Each structure stands twice: as structure tokens, then as C-alpha cells.
A and B are shown apart, each in its own frame.
Chain A
Amino acid sequence: MSAAAPALELHDVTVAYGRRPVLWNVDLSVDAPGLFGIIGPNGAGKSTLLKAALGLVPLAGGTVRFFGRPLAEVRGRIGYVPQRETVDWDFPVSVLDVVLMGTYGGLGWFRRPGAAQREAARAALDRVGLADLAGRQIGRLSGGQQQRVFLARALVQAADLYLLDEPLAGVDARSQDRIFRVLDELRSEGRLVVVVHHDLRTAAEWFDGVALVDMRLVAAGPVAAVLTPENLHRTYAGHLDVLDELGRAVERGGRTS
């Protein structure tokens, strides 16, 4: 990792769904290694921030750089763990099949995952504590186990930067411990782990740095500097009706009241 370029850098990023802006002018720069939390109320645009960084929703403005380079050049160094609810868990695949998907980005047409990929997938499953469930249909897993399968799918990429969307939402205590332990290991290995997180109580304890987001970036930096009563009040109590109303006005091409 180059010393100069931060692992993740958003410059003046604005994101719109259709024409309605939902995230305004975010400047954010995070260095590796570390465990970094993105925190904010429901509908604040936390997940949107991750998706925009990954090019999954188009930017209305601004730029995103990873390790100082555009996404297309460093895709293989980035692992993404979407929210568990975004997929159909009755889909007819096994646990190992899902983890192997993490290797597909590096394979070309016609190439199937081989022994090396299987080995890596089993190692990733072992790391999240699911080695003995490799052959199981994914619908038979508990919510926490499903989340760990998603984590294993990202681990198999051996990325330098991990972006996780609510990996601890609705998981059992055992899965939560295991997931957190793996994220902690990733940090010790020198990687950057960015986590969208909803629980303020655990945030201060787990993360090195946090960003408070509510349709815009309220504050970002070390936990002690950011999680101040004033910043929290601005994030949670001061919901910006102006941004909301303005977004709707832009969407319909009119003016606010």
C-alpha cells in the first residue's frame, strides 16, 4: 500500500436515486489499517455510501479513489459484503458454491473454479467457523451463519479493503463474536475494514475511527473526537428536513415550499 494514498477516498460525492439526491457532498478519507464504522440513523444513506463507492449506484457528482486509483484498476483488492436481506436464501446453491463466487472476479470465461479456489473457499469457511457446513443448502442456515457465509465469500478474495453493510444486524451472539474476531484479524493484517453499523453503544468499543452520516457527512475521524454529544445530536436529532424537501423538489423539477 502506498504511503501517500489513502485506502478509501471520497471527494465531494453526491448520490441521487433517479434525480433525487439522497447523499450530499461527502468528503471522506480513510487510511489502512483500521476498523472504521459508518454510523447514522435509518435512511441516512449509509448503505448508499458503500454502494456509490463501489459503483453500484451512479454518482451524481464527485470522485471515489481506492489506494489512489480508480475502482476499475483495483477491483480485485476490494471485498464487498452486502446486506444479508438483499438476496433470496432459498436460491438452489450450497454454502461452498456461494463462497466460491468470491473467486469468480479473477476467473475468465469458461474457467470454472478449480482445486486452488476450492482450497481457498474451504479455508475462508474455516475462518468463519463453518467448515463443516460446506455442502449445506444455504436456506438451511441460521441468519448468523448466512452472514458468516457472506463474509467468507469476501475473505476468499484476499482483499486489502473490505466494505461490509450491516454485517452484525440480526445475528446471534456467537456469530457476532466470530465475525468481529475475523474483522479484528483483518485489521491486524494491515487491511482496512469499513463497516456500516447501526448500534451506537458498540461503536465506540469496536472501531478505531467512525463517520457519522445523515444525508451528509456530519463528522469523521477518531472515535473520541467524533462521537461527541454535539455530533450525535446533529446526526440523530437534527434530521435535515431541508435536504429532504430539496431532494423531492429536484426530483419533480419544481421548487420547495
Chain B
Amino acid sequence: MNLVPGSEGGFAALHAWAIATAAVVAAGCALVGTLLVVRRMSLLGDAISHAVLPGIVLAVLAGGRPGGFAVLGGAVVAAVVTVLLVQALRSEGGVAEDAGTGVVFTTLFAVGVVLASALARRIDLDPSCVLYGVLEFVPFDTVAVAGLEVPRAFLTGVVVLGLVGAGLAATWKDQVFAAFDAEAARAVGVPVAAVTTGLLAATALVTVASFEAVGAILVVAMLVVPAAAAELLVRRLAWMAVVAVVLGVAAACLGYMAAYRLDTSAAGMIAVVLGLEYAVAAIVAPEDGVLARGAARARLAWRVRCEDLLARLWRADEARAGPPAATGPGDWAAAAWLRVSGRIVRDGDRWGLTAPGRAEAETVVRSHRLWEAWLGRHVELPLDHLHPPAEWIEHHLGADVRRRIEAEVGGEESDPHGRAIPRERGRPNA
């Protein structure tokens, strides 16, 4: 991107204003986006951000300034019209909501493009600015506030953020109730329709306030991506909003600076950074993240390997056979760990179970044989079908369910193959 060169200090101030503008609109979008995402209304955010275009064009035609409050009003009206049309298509025309949304927002957006192009000479509105934003030029369109020249887009962003923030603070608990369970909310008297309309108006406001910074197409990224990433990271809605705002603001700052370094589109770079933030969140998310799931799988695989080895040693003892042969490096690693943790001992070239190791092995074998007994009783299976499921389930049965199964199979002494079921630990052997 190319900025008009100026003095060193003025140059930095221009960048600072552009970053501040991007950050303010990103914060507003992330806040509203949090509620859109948990209400599964992300697509509606997309629709509104496009469908407001004719409202903006008409407001400009009526004498409003791009980024001014008349234009914001026009956009909100267009947003409400969009939602009403989608609802009307569904209730009157029987059109599915997603198809109806697709029809309405593309049509309105197209009308906006046609209007803007046809009226391009009569109005001061460049369609490409609306589509892609002109963050780099935001600092040059200023208004004086208390003696300070402030970019108009920044001022709009701050006012909208204040409005939306105050509105959401006032209605937060009702927003949450309506989002979680609209019918129960209506039953206790929460004005769900008004709350929802308020959210849609807020969506229109933050969208329009973002147009000059990032444009109609990429504003969807600001609405949806920070909230979607935050949903992966935290489990409480209020924290989700906070994290979404932090991610949105961070992407605005980092994206702008990266775009300056790489001499490319600031709006595009901000959206790319948002995408990267999401990717990182998907990897490091504490519960559903790639790393967390991989670690959980690895922990389970390791536990299964150790338990299987203990159970094999125990069964070899039971059969009075020699110790089983190790089947590979995984076994050697498990054996090493079991020795270090005091569950098996090395006796010459034999492995033997220690007391704690024997107790653990018995629990595994007991789980295995109880499950075979339970399956044999409840599911019509040939004997040779009982072992494979038990081999898997033995690692997942806890003491409580084992006792319940035992009560159900009537304290049988042996599994369907005729082998003794070891007693629960802590009780005398029969």
C-alpha cells in the first residue's frame, strides 16, 4: 500500500489512525459476532453485510455522507428489510430459510451494485470502496473533534461500538436466554422478537461502520471468525465475547502492519490473520483442539499398551506358561515404564508382576471377563465373538459399573469360556 509521504511523525500518526480504526470496527464486529455464532446465525451476518448496500446507496443519494449517520440509518433499514423478507419467504412462500436468505441478500446486493454503478456520476460513492474497503485512505477523511482532526471512519466506529456495547450490556442476559432457548425465554416474558431485532440492527451497524475499513466482503470475516475461534477456546459466553474482541483487535493491528510490510491490501491481510488465528485456535483449543485430541489419543494408547502387557503377564501366570514374548519396541517401552513405576520386575530373563502390578492386571482381566459374561447373557453371540469387544471394553470399565455388572450376572465365578473371573480388589479371594 502506498501512503502519501509526509513528515516522519505525521506518517506514523496516519498509520496509527488507520490501525485504531480497524481495531475499533473489529471490536464491534467481534462483540456482535459472538451472539451470531452461538445463535447459529453466521450466515445471516453475511447476508446483512451484503444486503445493506442498496440502503447505503439510497441514503447517499438522499444527501448522506459515506460513513455518516444517515447512511448508517439507511443500512439498518435495509438490514431489517432483509430479515423481514427472509421471514416472509419462509412463512408465506414456504421457502427454506437458507435458500430464502440466499435469494434475498444476493438480490438486494445486486440492486445495490446496479444502483451504485448507474448513479456513480451523481453520488460520491465508489462501489469498489464499499466492496473492498480503503483502510489506507481512512486517515485522510477527517472531522474536527474538540480541536483534534479525527478520521471520520474512526469516529463512526467509536460511536457504533459505544451504541452496540451499551445496547448489548443492557440486554445481555436476555440476548443469552433468547440465544439458548427462545421458547422458554418467551414463556417467562423475555421480548425475544425485540431482542433478536436489536441484534440484527447491531449487526447492520457494525457492518456498515466496517465498510470503509474492510469492505462488504471481508467484514464477514470480522463478524464470524473471531467468535468462532473464541468458541473453541473458552466455555462461557461472556469470556467468549472478551476473547473474540481480543482476537479481532489483534488481527486488525497485526494484519495492518503485515500488509504495510508486504505492500498489499490491509483488509485482505486482516482477514488472513483472522484465518490464521482460527487455525491456531483449532490446534491449541483445550478440549477439541488437534493437540488436545492427539494427546488424549496418545495417552489412551499408552495406557492400553501398559494394561495389555500386565494382563498378558497375569494370564501367562494363570496358565502356568512362560512369560509372553515382547511384540515390539512399544512393548519394550511399556515394560520399561512398568518397571520404573514398580509394577513389574525383571528376574533373569523373565518378567514378573509385583503386588501393585498384579492388582492392576487383575482389574483388567476382571473387566474383560465380566464384560464377556455380560455380553454372553444379553447379546446372542457365538463364543468366539465375545473376546474382541472385551479386549477393547476392558480399558474403559470403572469400579462402579463393574460392580453393577457383577450384580447383574449374578456373581458368576467364571466367564463364558469357563475361566475364573478375578475378584474385585480389596475383597477377600473366594
Contact = CB atoms under 8 A, between A and B. Distances in A.
Interface of A: 18, 51, 54-56, 75-76, 78, 80-82, 86-88, 91-94, 97-98, 101-102, 104-105, 107, 109-110, 112-113, 137, 153, 157
Given A92-B38, A92-B234, A87 B170 contact: no
12 contacts: A55-B186, A75-B189, A86-B183, A88-B180, A91-B38, A97-B176, A98-B180, A101-B176, A102-B188, A109-B171, A110-B169, A113-B173
B183 A56 contact: yes
**B interface: dominant SS:** helix
B180 A101 contact: yes
A88 B38 CA distance: 9
Contacts of B187: 54, 56, 75, 78, 80, 82
Given A104-B173, A110-B170, A113-B173, A93 B180 contact: yes
B38 A56 contact: no
Contact of A75 (B40, B170, B188, B231): B188
Given A101-B184, A102-B188, A105-B189, A93 B174 contact: no
A18 B91 contact: yes
Contacts of A94: 235-236
Given A87-B180, A87-B181, A105-B188, A93 B173 contact: no
Interface of B: 38, 40, 91, 94, 169-171, 173-174, 176-177, 179-181, 183-190, 231, 234-237, 240
B91 A82 contact: no
A104 B170 CA distance: 13
Contact of A92 (B174, B183, B189, B240): B240
Contacts of B179: 91
B170 A101 contact: no
A82 to B, nearest CB: 5
Contacts of B173: 101, 104, 107, 112-113
Contacts of B183: 51, 56, 80, 82, 86
B172 to A, nearest CB: 8
Nearest to B230: A92
B235 A153 contact: no
Contacts of A76: 188-189
Contacts of A153: 184
Given A75-B189, A92-B38, A110-B169, A104 B236 contact: no
A93 B237 contact: yes
* Cβ-closest 10 pairs across A and B: A105-B188, A80-B187, A105-B189, A75-B189, A137-B235, A87-B181, A101-B177, A92-B237, A91-B180, A54-B187
Nearest to A83: B183
Given A91-B179, A92-B237, A93-B237, A104 B231 contact: no
Contacts of B188: 75-76, 80, 101-102, 104-105, 157
A105 B190 contact: yes
Q: Which of A81, A88, A137 has the most CB of B within 10 A?
A: A88
Nearest to B91: A18
A76 B236 CA distance: 28
A56 B192 CA distance: 11
Contacts of A51: 183
A105 B176 CA distance: 13
Contacts of B186: 54-56
Given A82-B187, A104-B173, 5 more contacts: A51-B183, A76-B189, A86-B183, A104-B188, A104-B190
Contacts of B170: 109-110
A121 to B, nearest CB: 13
